[in-house]
Structures are given as C-alpha cells and as structure tokens.
C-alpha cells in the first residue's frame, strides 16, 4: 500500500490539455469507484479545477500509475505522460498541502484553491477513506496556518482587488461610501462588484448610452445619468470608477476642480481602469485627489505578489511541519498495530517453546526456571528491537506503508484482526 498523486497542472500542461482533463464531480466519483471495484486502489480523491486535475489514491498492493495514466490518457485522447507529474507518499502529502496553501497556484497564495480542495474531498468522500480523509483534513489545516502565520495570502493580487485595497487605504472601511461609475461596461461592473462587497453604495452610473447606464443603475439601486449631468454630483461621491471607451480623457482638471471646492478636504479616489485612459494625468496633482490608472493597480498587485513570494519559505516550513505530523499519524496508524501483533505472536511462540524446553529439562528449582524464562524473554526482546524501531521509522518517513504490508506478510499477520489500518472505524477522523 502506498500514497500516490498523479495529475497535470498549469505548470505542466496548456489550457487545451487541462480543459479536456477536467472532471465533473459525478465523473470523478464514477472513475474512482471503478478503480476501487477493480481492486487497484483502496481510497481515491480527484481534485479538478481550471488549473489542475489530480488523482490522489491509496494504492492496493500493485502500482496503479499505469491505470491512472491510462484513465487520463483516455480522457485526453492522447498520451498524457508528457504533461503528467507523479508524487508518492511523503512527497504526495507535501504536494497536496502546498496546493491547498496556494503555493502551486497561478496567482501565488490565492485563497480559492483551499475551498476547491475541500469541495473535491467532500465530493469524493464515498471513495475516500481514513488515510486520504486525514490527509485532506490536514492539508486544509496546513493551508490555514500558512495563510495566518505568513503573508502568502496577504494583499490584493488582482487588479480589481487592488482597486479595493487602494480605496481602503484612503477611506479605511468602505461601508457607506458612495461611488460613481463613468461608463457602463463589463470592466467597470467587475470593479464595482468588488467595491460593493465591501459595502460601497453606488450613487450614480453615467454613460454615453443612457439605456446601458439605466440597466446597471437599476441593478444596484443607483441613479443613471448622462456624462454631461454627472459632474455636478461629483462633490457627493468618494470613489469614481472610470471605464469609458472614449478615445480622449473625459475627466479633466477643469471638471474636477469645479466640483472639488464643494467637497472641502474630503479625499476623492479615482480609479481609471479605461484604456486609453479616461482621466487627465494632471488630475492626480490636485490636493486630496488620489488617482490610480491600470498601471498603478497592476503595480500594487505585483508588489503584493512579490511580498507573497518572500513568504514562501516560511509557508514551506509550516507545510513541512504539518506533513511530519501527518506521517507520524500514519506511522502510528499503520506500524503500531503491526508491531504489537508481531510481538504478541513472537511471545506466544516463545511461551510454547519455553514450556516444551522446561518439560524436556525435567525438575528445576524456581530460580533456575526463572533464569531460563528471563533468558528467553530477553533474547526475544533483543531480536525484535531493531525490526520494531525500523518499522516505525519507515512508516514515519513516508516510505513505510509498503514495509508495513511486507511485515504483515512475512510474519503471517495479514489475516489477524486489528492490524489493517484501512478497516478500523476508529481511524476515520472525518
């Protein structure tokens, strides 16, 4: 028995390959059930997102890689080997923990993957078992720790979230702040949705085409206006989002100066996400106006990502700790019952042979009988010490599930109750 993960991700396969390998939840469960029914795996979970498809499995005695590879190749309609990576045992655990923490994501540290890992595990629960249940649960814990204890998830990593971050740096909480949107396109709406989540209320939607402005305004309980009318209302808003298709700037110094006087000292945050830009660059020179264009927003996101990158080693340390804890658990789960059974079996043999020997020796004084008893026990302990230690160590090193199986086979323990970690209900921690 061994842990294996095989799959493709954005680092190994282009989108054309990844999209063919995407599993819907019901497909994932069906394929895993098939692998289990064929006696190839004991447990399985498929993690399928837009950036990766990975199959996590606890193998039966045989190597299941050819079967997993064949499954993916059939789905792709071509040989998947050139795009596929494989990790086993401890490396497989470290890989999953890194994935859940966002260390393997396209945008480093993104939080969405943690939810996707959890969803994948829950969707495949019927085909999972104690080993994978514990591993996925530990991966979520490791990911949470990495996010809380390091900065890998801190700061905005996309343009729209950078816009929110900048507005927050000016206004603190955004609840109750008012926004005006210039241009009613999809990009403006996307940025607007990010601000709405923070509690910003949309006051005015201004667009050259009044009908589009009205549509957007109705959706957010705002007022629709033409460009020409909106400038008078500018004194009343805190955030201005500009995203028109105008070839020349529509927000000029003159227009802003005219409204800024009525604002007093209140700051105005202008997010110009149009290309070409909607706002004259010199508007940013006006006191209490904070002007950010697309390049600024990208720079803010890039700065955050750079900072996240610096925290990767710290996150990896946390993951290594959690991987160790998980394999300690596996060691206990897999090796301890085998060692116990092994010792009990040896002790039973020792007692039988001792009784036979004592019978052959004839009458002995109690001291003599005790010395022989002590000798037999001591000899057995000495013989068993090294194999016991090595069995536990092998399991803890993440290479030992196979060794544990081998020990079970060598000492004829495979049919004895209580030595198979896969069968005990008490180990199902989910």
Whether the Cβ atoms of residue 109 and residue 157 lie closer than 8 Å to each other: yes
Report the candidate in 206, 166, 171, 203 with the shortest Cα–Cα distance to residue 304.
166
Q: Rounded to the nearest whole angstrom, what is the least distance from the CB of residue 347 to another protein in the complex?
A: 54
What would the DSSP string read from start to end of 271-291?
EE--SS-SB-GGGGGSTTEEE
Binding-site size for another protein (CB under 8 A) equals 27
Tokens matching residue 133: 């249940």
Between 264 and 363, CB nearer to another protein: 264
Is residue 25 within the footprint of another protein (CB under 8 A)?
no
Q: Which is nearer to another protein, 136 or 292 (CB)?
A: 292
Contact between 168 and another protein by CB under 8 A: the answer reads: yes
Identify which range of 72-80, 167-175, 373-381, 385-393 contacts another protein by CB under 8 A.
Answer: 167-175
Q: What is the dihedral of CA 371, 376, 381, 387, to 10 degrees?
A: 160
Alpha helices in 101-205 (DSSP H): 112-123, 130-149, 159-171, 186-197
Site string for another protein, 338-377 (x = CB under 8 A): ----------------------------------------
Is residue 206 within the footprint of another protein (CB under 8 A)?
Answer: no
CA 20 to chain centre: 22
Q: CB 174 → another protein: shortest distance, Å?
A: 10
**In the complex with another protein, which residue's Cβ is closer, 166 or 395?**
166
Nearest residue to 99 via CA among 428, 323, 399: 323
Q: Which of 50, 124, 242, 269 is flagged as catalytic? A: 50
326 near another protein (CB under 8 A): no
Residues in the chain: 430
The residue within the footprint of another protein, chosen from 281, 303, 361, 389 (CB under 8 A), is 303
288 binds another protein (CB under 8 A): yes
Least distance to another protein, CB of residue 143, Å = 18
| Residue of 94, 166, 274, 407 that binds another protein (CB under 8 A) | 166
**Whole-number minimum distance, CB 36 to another protein, in Å?**
44
Cβ-based nearer residue to another protein, 171 or 326? 171
Which sign does the torsion angle of CA 108, 112, 117, 118 carry? positive
The 8 Å CB, 24+ separation contacts for 287-290 are 288/260, 288/263, 289/256, 289/260, 290/166, 290/170
Which of these ranges, 186-194, 244-252, 288-296, 408-416, lies near another protein under the rule CB under 8 A? 288-296
State the minimum distance, in angstroms, from the CB of residue 291 to another protein: 8
Which spans in 51-111 are helix H?
65-76, 89-100
Task: Give the residue with the Cβ less far from another protein, 128 or 304.
Answer: 304
Instruction: Give, as ranges, the residues between 265 and 284 that touch another protein (CB under 8 A).
Output: 265-267, 284
Write the DSSP assignment of 205-228 as a string of letters. Answer: EE-SSHHHHHHHHHHHT-EEE-HH
Please name which of 204, 163, 167 lies closest in space to residue 183, comparing C-alpha atoms: 204
Q: Could you confirm whether 50 is annotated as catalytic?
A: yes
Does residue 310 bind another protein (CB under 8 A)? Answer: yes
Q: Which residue's structure tokens are 């997010």?
A: 271
Q: How far is CA 153 from the centre of its chain?
A: 12
| Beta pairing class for 239-242 and 268-272 | parallel
Closest CB to another protein among residues 185, 284: 284
- The only residue of 172, 313, 362, 417 in contact with another protein, by rule CB under 8 A: 172
Q: How far is the CB of 316 from another protein (least distance, A)?
A: 15
Give exposure, 138-148, as e/b (b: 16+ Cβ within 10 Å): bbbbbbebbbe
296 touches another protein by CB under 8 A: yes
Pick one of 105, 116, 244, 304: the residue that binds another protein (CB under 8 A): 304
End-to-end CA distance of the chain: 21
Q: Is 264 an interacting residue with respect to another protein (CB under 8 A)?
A: yes
Binding of another protein by 145 (CB under 8 A)? no
Q: Which is nearer to another protein, 97 or 290 (CB)?
A: 290
Q: Can you tell me the distance from the alpha carbon of 243 to that of 223, in angstroms, rounded to the nearest whole number?
A: 17
Q: Which residues are catalytic?
A: 50
Which residues of the shown chain bind another protein in the complex (CB under 8 A)?
A: 150-151, 154-155, 166, 168-172, 264-267, 284, 287-288, 290, 292, 296, 299-300, 303-304, 307, 310-311
């Amino acid at each position: 028995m061994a842990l294996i993960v095989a799959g493709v991700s954005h680092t190994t396969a282009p989108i054309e390959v990844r999209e063919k390998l995407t599993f819907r939840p019901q497909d994932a469960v069906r394929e895993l059930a098939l692998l289990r029914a064929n006696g190839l795996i004991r447990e399985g979970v498929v993690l399928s997102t837009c950036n990766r498809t990975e199959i996590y499995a606890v193998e039966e005695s045989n190597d299941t890689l050819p079967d997993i590879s064949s499954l993916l190749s059939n789905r792709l309609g071509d040989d998947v080997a050139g795009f596929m990576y494989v990790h086993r045992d401890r490396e497989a655990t470290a890989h999953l923990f890194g994935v859940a923490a966002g260390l393997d994501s396209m945008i480093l540290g993104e939080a969405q993957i943690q939810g996707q890992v959890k969803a994948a595990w829950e969707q495949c629960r019927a085909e999972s078992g104690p080993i994978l249940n514990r591993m996925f649960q530990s991966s979520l814990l490791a990911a949470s720790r990495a996010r809380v204890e390091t900065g890998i998830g801190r700061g905005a990593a996309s343009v729209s979230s950078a816009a929110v971050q900048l507005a927050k740096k000016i206004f603190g909480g955004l609840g109750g702040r008012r926004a005006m949107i210039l241009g009613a396109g999809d990009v403006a709406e996307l940025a607007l949705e990010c601000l709405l989540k923070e509690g910003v209320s949309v006051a005015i939607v201004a667009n050259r085409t009044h009908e589009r402005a009205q549509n957007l305004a109705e959706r957010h309980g705002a007022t629709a206006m033409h460009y020409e009318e909106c400038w008078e209302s500018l004194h009343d808003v805190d955030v201005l989002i500009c995203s028109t298709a105008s070839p020349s700037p529509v927000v000029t110094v003159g227009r802003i100066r005219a409204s800024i006087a009525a604002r007093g000292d209140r700051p105005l945050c202008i997010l110009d996400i149009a290309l070409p830009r909607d706002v004259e660059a010199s508007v940013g020179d006006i006191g209490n106006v904070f002007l950010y264009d697309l390049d600024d927003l990208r720079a803010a996101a890039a700065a955050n990502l750079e900072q996240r990158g610096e925290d990767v080693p710290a996150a990896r340390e946390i993951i290594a700790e959690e991987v160790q804890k998980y394999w300690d658990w596996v060691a206990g789960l897999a090796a301890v019952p085998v060692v116990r059974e092994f010792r009990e079996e040896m002790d039973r043999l020792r007692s039988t042979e001792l009784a036979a020997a004592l019978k052959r020796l004839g009458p002995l004084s109690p001291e003599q009988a005790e010395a022989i008893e002590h000798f037999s026990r001591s000899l057995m302990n000495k013989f068993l010490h090294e194999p016991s230690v090595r069995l536990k160590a092998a399991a803890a090193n993440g290479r030992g599930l196979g060794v544990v199986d081998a020990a079970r086979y060598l000492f004829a323990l495979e049919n004895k109750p209580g030595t198979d970690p896969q069968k005990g209900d008490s180990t199902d921690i989910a």
